Structure 1
Amino acid sequence: MIKDKPLVDKAFVLEKEMNKCGWTYVRLPELVPSKNTAFGWLRVSGTIEGHEIKKYNLQSMGNGVLFLPVNAQVRKKIKKQIGDLVHITLYEDKIPSQIQEELELCLRDIPQAYACFLGYSEREKREILEWIYLAKTEEVKLKRMVQAIDKITQSAIA
């Protein structure tokens, strides 16, 4: 299996905001906020010092720079603190095509709903697919798919 090229694969300094509830984070100046998501977030998976992270949102600092929050639990596991260098490898976390295929297969049984879904903008489709994909369990993923089909069907009928 060929793995995508990482978005980043190098060492960064762990930083902390200097206010009362400041976050610990890694600034990622090489990456730019996404124009296709709320708040410019970019969903990634990868590793911090070999510790696997999945479905993390890189957030915008508001100045065109993204950052990766590093919570206390992760810092404890990797035995790092503010000011330390941490090696980070991140890949864009893309929605598997099988989710869209499964949803479309179900929608084909309801022609009006299928036509309605095909008429959605790419952003609307992506939001539905992300919502389904981000479910923590297969059971919740299935429940969300049913809810999405119901919502699309109701839109098609209205």
Structure 2
Amino acid sequence: MDKNFIQSFLDFRWLTFISSSQHIQVKIVATLIALILFPLIKKTITSLFINKIKNSEKRYKWNKTVSYMLYFLIFFIIGSIWFEGFESIATYLGLVSAGIAIALKDPITNITGWLYIIARSPFKIGDRIELGNNAGDVVDITISNFTIMEIGNWVDTNQYTGRLIHIPNGRV
């Protein structure tokens, strides 16, 4: 084979790869910038506003709220970077929501339980609760579960056992 033919073939393939991958490279860079800006924005909001709240319970709730809002925002930004017409994807997801609801029954139940915990406040961080066979002090509440530091069980008094128990919000 002619050496010039092979060289021109390789050059053409390389140029085609570069031109097609430049679009992807721009998307990767934009995604990385968004992911780098996410913690910076969170830290800025925390230092400017949330740290000024004196009540630790309110500060905790605001910190969680800001985190969830920023997660949603970063998801939307990255989705709009990678998918053309991201709004039409939302329409598509609306059409298949019945199937998603059936497949994701437990996570949806946990999110609903979390909304109930946030709105009605049946308990808050620091409260001692008993749910089924588990008893302890609430140390964290997230969108999918809450965490208690267990008391009792094999210990005769109301002392901590040293175990952290994660209970799904759907059990509330």
Same fold (TM over 0.5): no
TM-score, structure 1 normalization = 0.28
Identify the structure with the greater strand proportion: 1
TM-score, structure 2 normalization = 0.26
Q: Which has the larger radius of gyration?
A: 2
